């Protein structure tokens, strides 16, 4: 049963949402100017007030204007997600709406303004109040500048073809006693009120057009072709313009499908069979499509591809061509079908659309390809049979993609607004979780309940505005049991579910086992009895909030498994089964696999992979790495990498032990305990051994989309160095221990970066503190300014050696933190490696170290693309000498910021360096070859 509070919320919401039951009328007269990519628009809007309120103003969606500026909500979102091409684009590539005039039915000008913080919304002030039941006619003229398609794939391309979306002005959806006011964020969720439309489009004769609207006529004028389109009860429509539109029509008894979805290896007949099968499937499961035509374009698919298929190189081709086309078409057709018909708020109630889409995709695979594996035909290769990655069913990948984020503690409630999701959740994990949730509910309820609710909800949504409460009510009607656990926990929270078995007791005839709820989150969970890998029974266990004892017949089963088919989005499947066989040594035997694998809940996995590294003193260092890092994060990880030094002919390597403690719903969201060790050579025939116990406390703001990262690091570094005669700097003792505490607070996006780093080091021989500030800004004129400030001072110093002193132009890496290829070199190529540390100067000076204090400023600004000029200046103080001021300047090739950079010194305190002898030895370089660090370049836009 529905709780009284939720029942009241839904009733109020339904009363407010469903006030608008009729559509407005739009009349568009449009002429394209192909050279300038402008649409000259004359438009009439007949706005019908079907609300119960008197309206004094109207809100129109002008989402084309979202492209007008780098600082619009769309521009800021691109910056958040490191989409560089929008910021660097020319003004005429971005698009906008200009020269707008609005008249009323008496041809009097109406006042209008762009809504504060929403420049792509227009508020029109009416001359007189519009009462319920009355209509108001607005006459508009404006110019739509169409953006380049490289930003969102909507707009015009280099060939002159156009895919137009959201280019005209539309009345906004009305709900909760107001117009919906939100901006274009490239989420395909424009809140248009339903409308009837008539479009007259004038094009040069060399261009063609088609739309998913009905074609009501094509005529020829002196220099134009005129296309007439019409449609009723629309939320939006698509318009394609080009010289050669490579679309094909596949018409059946249900709908005319117009598509250019790419799959060159299939014939038209094969495509027609696939399309007909999917159209009939969706028609049977959801309902009749209300319009005559639907477009399924390659652009639609590329905007929302099937993740997994699109990541595989074409030469691998683990799936049949027909299956690839079928899955692409199924995903895109379902998305467009639901987008065009469901009258929901696609931003606030996105889980409904996503859940239905993914749920139907999963059912389609179950019905038509029940034996299909996640890796397709690769699963049949005997060499890969031992990998869980090749054995899991195709539909299980949805759970793994969701769990990828849950294990990182980055998952979000799928009931949250779409614009609050980080990109990976918005495009992948959240969608998949929504589909998995409906499948979970359907498995629990049975009787085809979810399918019936989807069809009924679709029918209601064709008639009126709806929201999630409508869908929830239909689901609740299918069972006498309360589904509050489903809506509260599965949809509207990020609470994790985790059950386990403990205390197995066996008698002659029965098995008694305790089912434990590890997290206290109570949802139905299935328990399976397995014998010889076959399911003997399945029981849904409900209301397990504390330990519950279960009793089953012993002779019928050899294994008890919780959530055997992964129907419940459970956090940890590794503790879900117990064997009833006697003399079981381990519940989860060890399995070795080469390279990487998916997590297998029935085995302890040890992965091994060949490695190779390099430094000047060990040479090429081949090794073999053993670890238990599967694709999903684990609470405990070990990593052992022994290697062979080709120069010293000795064993080197490193190891790490990590325990992750994720704290759900806390600002302090993760604590990482670890102990790491390494043994390599730091000079010819001189080794070092480093051991570091460490704790990292990671903080995050309340908004997951905030790019701020804040953490504390506490560690103790133990170092033991072999003595050598090669290095000039030597510590007082070759074994030393340093306590290190850091605080780091950084916020990075495309347009700007700011970070604060403080560092405290304490040891018997010294104590020092440091602070570093970094600022980077990409201005509107595409100039990028980089500024770094560093200040460090010794608190105490009980040594005469400069071993622990501040480095002025070279990292003084006594902690062995940096990946220096020739860390002890003072001349030659390897000595020119540069890392941003301490003084940060690129030129060499007479003094290499500061043993009392140092302050410095490092800055650069680009002069053309990635070519920059840099300048460093600072003051440092050494014992028994006065302060010294130094500076340097030069050219910086900022190829990949913080990863690959080259510095050419020009002038410094030492004079003109560019004309000095052996200038090539003055050049510095920064290079990062660590794959784990480089991965951050690609994942930062997703996480």
At 586 the pLDDT is: 61
Burial of 184 (0-12, 13-18, 19+ CB in 10 A): buried
| Alpha helix positions (H), 248-386 | 268-285, 298-303, 321-341, 350-368
* Separation CA 348–CA 355 (nearest Å): 14
Task: Work out the angle between the directed axes of helices 468-476 and 4-17 (0-180°, nearest 10).
Answer: 130
At 15 the pLDDT is: 45
Confidence band, pLDDT 50/70/90 cuts, at residue 554: confident
At 602 the pLDDT is: 85
**For the ranges 1-10, 306-315, 457-466, which has the lowest average pLDDT?**
1-10
Q: Is the pLDDT of residue 263 over 90?
A: no
Q: Is the pLDDT of residue 510 over 60?
A: yes
Q: Whole-prediction pTM value?
A: 0.93
SS3 of residue 367 by DSSP: helix
Confidence band, pLDDT 50/70/90 cuts, at residue 399: very high
At 582 the pLDDT is: 73
At 762 the pLDDT is: 98
Tell me which residue of 27, 163, 172 sits closest to 95, measured CA to CA. 163
- Bridge partners, 874 (sequence order): 856, 886
At 933 the pLDDT is: 65
Q: Is the pLDDT of residue 269 over 50?
A: yes
The answer to whether 236 touches 192, Cβ cutoff 8 Å, is: yes
| Alpha helix positions (H), 486-643 | none
Q: Is the pLDDT of residue 508 over 90?
A: no
SS3 of residue 442 by DSSP: helix
Confidence band, pLDDT 50/70/90 cuts, at residue 580: confident
Average pLDDT estimate for 578-600: 82
At 200 the pLDDT is: 97
Q: Which residue has the higher pLDDT, 292 or 20?
A: 292
Q: Number of helices and strands (H, E) in the chain?
A: 16, 47
- Phi, psi dihedral angles at 323 (to 5 degrees): -65, -40
Average pLDDT over the chain, rounded to whole? 92
The answer to whether 332 touches 261, Cβ cutoff 8 Å, is: yes
Confidence band, pLDDT 50/70/90 cuts, at residue 811: confident
Q: Is the pLDDT of residue 14 over 90?
A: no
At 149 the pLDDT is: 96
What is the tens place of the pLDDT at every residue in 57-100?
999 999 999 999 999 999 999 999 999 999 999 999 999 999 99
At 315 the pLDDT is: 61
Contacts of 922 (CB under 8 A, 6+ apart): 843, 844, 904, 905, 913, 916
- Phi, psi dihedral angles at 164 (to 5 degrees): -100, 130
Confidence band, pLDDT 50/70/90 cuts, at residue 382: confident
Average pLDDT estimate for 301-325: 81
Confidence band, pLDDT 50/70/90 cuts, at residue 16: very low
What is the tens place of the pLDDT at every residue in 193-202?
999 999 999 9
What is the tens place of the pLDDT at every residue in 761-791?
999 999 999 999 999 999 988 899 999 999 9
The answer to whether 662 touches 677, Cβ cutoff 8 Å, is: no
Average pLDDT estimate for 252-279: 94
Q: Which residue has the higher pLDDT, 1 or 549?
A: 549
Confidence band, pLDDT 50/70/90 cuts, at residue 312: low
Confidence band, pLDDT 50/70/90 cuts, at residue 18: very low
Q: Which residue has the higher pLDDT, 602 or 489?
A: 489
* Separation CA 234–CA 196 (nearest Å): 6
At 705 the pLDDT is: 93
* Separation CA 326–CA 338 (nearest Å): 18
Average pLDDT estimate for 342-371: 97
- 3-state helix, strand and coil shares in percent for the chain, rounded to the nearest 5: 20, 40, 40
What is the tens place of the pLDDT at every residue in 845-863?
999 999 999 999 999 999 9
Q: Is the pLDDT of residue 56 over 70?
A: yes
Confidence band, pLDDT 50/70/90 cuts, at residue 297: very high
β-sheet with 224-234: strand ranges across: 96-103, 135-145, 38-48, 24-33, 195-204, 224-234, 214-220
At 11 the pLDDT is: 45
| Alpha helix positions (H), 181-320 | 268-285, 298-303
**For the ranges 124-128, 382-386, 491-495, which has the lowest average pLDDT?**
382-386
The answer to whether 361 touches 331, Cβ cutoff 8 Å, is: yes
Task: Work out the angle between the directed axes of helices 449-463 and 321-341 (0-180°, nearest 10).
Answer: 50
Confidence band, pLDDT 50/70/90 cuts, at residue 563: very high
At 265 the pLDDT is: 86
* Separation CA 600–CA 687 (nearest Å): 39
Confidence band, pLDDT 50/70/90 cuts, at residue 258: very high
At 428 the pLDDT is: 95
Total Cβ atoms within 10 A of residue 18: 17
* Separation CA 265–CA 711 (nearest Å): 52
Confidence band, pLDDT 50/70/90 cuts, at residue 318: confident
């Amino acid at each position: 049963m529905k709780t009284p509070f939720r029942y009241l919320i839904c009733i109020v919401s339904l009363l407010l949402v469903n006030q608008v039951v009729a559509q407005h009328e739009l009349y568009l007269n449009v002429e394209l100017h192909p050279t300038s990519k402008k649409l000259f628009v004359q438009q009439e809007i007949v706005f019908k007030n079907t609300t119960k309120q008197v309206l004094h103003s109207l809100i129109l969606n002008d989402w084309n204007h979202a492209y007008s500026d780098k600082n619009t909500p769309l521009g800021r979102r691109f910056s958040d997600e490191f989409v560089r091409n929008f910021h660097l684009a020319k003004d005429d590539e971005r698009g906008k709406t200009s020269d707008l005039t609005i008249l009323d039915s008496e041809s009097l000008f109406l006042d209008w303004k762009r809504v504060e913080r929403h420049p792509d919304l227009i508020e029109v002030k009416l001359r007189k109040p519009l009462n319920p039941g009355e209509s108001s006619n607005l006459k508009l003229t404006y110019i739509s500048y169409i953006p380049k398609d490289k930003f969102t794939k909507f707009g015009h391309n280099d060939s002159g073809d156009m895919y137009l979306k959201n280019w005209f002005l539309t009345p906004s959806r009305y709900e909760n006693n107001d117009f919906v006011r939100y901006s274009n964020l490239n989420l395909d969720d424009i809140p248009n009120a339903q409308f009837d439309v008539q479009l007259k489009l004038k094009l040069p004769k060399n261009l063609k057009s088609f739309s998913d609207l009905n074609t009501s006529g094509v005529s020829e004028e002196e220099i134009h072709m005129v296309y007439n389109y019409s449609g009723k009860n629309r939320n939006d429509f698509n318009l394609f313009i080009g010289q050669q539109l490579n679309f094909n029509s596949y018409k059946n008894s249900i709908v005319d499908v117009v598509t250019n979805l790419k799959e060159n290896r299939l014939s038209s007949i094969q495509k027609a069979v696939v399309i007909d099968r999917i159209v009939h499937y969706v028609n049977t499961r959801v309902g009749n499509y209300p319009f005559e035509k639907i477009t399924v374009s390659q652009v639609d698919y590329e905007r929302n591809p099937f993740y997994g298929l699109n990541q595989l190189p074409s030469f691998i081709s683990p799936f049949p061509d027909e299956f690839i086309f079928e899955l692409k078409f199924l995903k895109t057709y379902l998305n467009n079908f639901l987008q065009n018909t469901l009258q929901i708020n696609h931003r606030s109630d996105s889980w409904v659309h996503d859940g239905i889409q993914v749920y139907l995709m999963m059912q389609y695979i179950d019905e038509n390809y029940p034996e299909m594996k996640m890796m397709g035909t690769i699963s049949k290769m005997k060499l890969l049979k031992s990998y869980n990655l090749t054995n899991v069913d195709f539909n299980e990948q949805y759970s793994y993609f969701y769990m990828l984020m849950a294990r990182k503690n980055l998952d979000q409630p799928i009931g949250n607004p779409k614009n609050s999701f980080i990109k990976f959740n918005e495009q992948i994990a959240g969608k998949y979780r929504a589909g998995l949730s409906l499948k979970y509910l359907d498995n629990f309820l049975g009787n085809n309940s979810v399918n019936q609710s989807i069809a009924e909800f679709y029918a209601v949504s064709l008639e009126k505005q709806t929201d999630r409460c409508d869908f929830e009510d239909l689901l609740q009607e299918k069972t006498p049991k309360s589904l509050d656990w489903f809506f509260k926990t599965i949809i509207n929270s990020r609470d994790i579910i985790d059950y386990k078995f403990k205390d197995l007791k066996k008698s002659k005839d029965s098995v008694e086992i305790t089912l434990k709820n590890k997290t206290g989150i109570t949802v139905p969970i299935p328990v399976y009895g397995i014998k010889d890998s076959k399911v003997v029974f399945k029981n849904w266990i409900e209301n397990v909030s504390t330990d519950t004892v279960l009793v089953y017949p012993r002779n019928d089963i050899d294994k008890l498994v919780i959530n055997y088919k992964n129907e419940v989005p459970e956090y940890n499947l590794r503790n879900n089964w117990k064997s009833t066989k006697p003399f079981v040594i381990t519940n989860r035997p060890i399995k070795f696999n080469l390279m990487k694998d998916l997590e297998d809940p029935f085995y302890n996995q040890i992965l091994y992979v060949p490695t190779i590294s390099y430094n000047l003193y060990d040479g090429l260092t081949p090794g073999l790495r053993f670890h238990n890092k599967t694709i999903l994060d684990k609470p405990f990880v070990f990593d052992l990498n022994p290697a062979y030094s080709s120069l010293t002919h000795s064993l080197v390597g490193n190891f790490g032990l990590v325990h992750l403690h994720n704290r759900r719903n806390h600002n302090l969201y993760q604590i990482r305990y670890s102990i790491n060790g390494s043994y390599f050579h730091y000079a010819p025939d001189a080794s070092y051994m480093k051991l570091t116990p460490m704790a990292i406390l990671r903080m995050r703001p309340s908004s997951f989309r905030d790019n701020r990262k804040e953490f504390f690091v506490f560690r103790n570094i133990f170092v033991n160095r072999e003595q050598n005669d090669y290095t000039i700097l030597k510590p007082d003792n070759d074994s030393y221990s340093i306590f290190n505490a850091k605080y780091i607070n950084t916020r990075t996006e495309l347009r700007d970066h700011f970070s604060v780093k403080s560092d405290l080091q304490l040891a018997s021989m010294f104590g020092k503190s440091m602070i570093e500030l970094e600022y980077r800004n990409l201005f509107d004129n595409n100039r990028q300014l980089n500024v770094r400030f560093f200040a460090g001072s010794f608190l105490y110093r009980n040594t005469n050696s400069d071993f622990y002193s501040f480095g002025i132009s070279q990292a003084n890496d006594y902690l062995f933190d940096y990946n220096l290829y020739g860390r002890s070199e003072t001349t030659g190529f390897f000595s020119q490696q540069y890392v941003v540390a301490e003084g940060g100067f690129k030129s060499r000076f007479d003094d290499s170290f500061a043993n009392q204090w140092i302050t410095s400023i490092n800055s650069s600004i680009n002069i053309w693309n990635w070519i920059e000029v840099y300048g460093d200046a600072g003051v440092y103080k050494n014992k028994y000498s006065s302060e010294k001021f130094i500076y340097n300047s030069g050219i910086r090739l900022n190829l990949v910021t913080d990863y690959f950079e080259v510095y050419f010194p020009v002038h410094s305190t030492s004079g003109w360096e560019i004309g000095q002898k052996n200038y090539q030895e003055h050049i510095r370089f920064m290079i990062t070859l660590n794959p784990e660090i480089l991965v951050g370049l690609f994942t930062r836009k997703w996480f």
